[in-house]
Amino acid sequence: MNLNDYSKEELEIIEYFKCKELAMNIEIMPLYRMMVDKAFLTDDKTRYTKALRAAYKMINESKIYRNTQEFNSVLRDILDFKWVNNEN
């Protein structure tokens, strides 16, 4: 995939999990699964993990498609709340 295939919100999550280079070389679902696993293994409770979980759930369990206004809006709402878990 190309980084242009990801929304601004997705790139924020990808960069947080340090998967930017990986994102250019594998398909989206394995990438998301790897980031979910990393968040679980590191017990990450940041807004990035909350957004990642929401994105993963939308992709797998709903009819909301990636790179739509609805999808990105959900991610943006989560990413903008820095106060979650006392994040600075």
Count of structural domains within the chain: 1
Range of the domain at 47: 3-86
Asked whether 22 and 31 are in contact (CB, 8 A), the reply is yes
Q: How many residues does the chain have?
A: 88
**pLDDT tens per residue, range 63-88:** 778 888 999 999 999 999 865 555 65
**pLDDT tens per residue, range 17-45:** 999 999 999 998 999 999 999 999 999 99
Tokens of 20: 């930017």
Q: What is the pTM of this model?
A: 0.83
Q: How far apart are CA 15 and CA 25, in angstroms?
A: 15
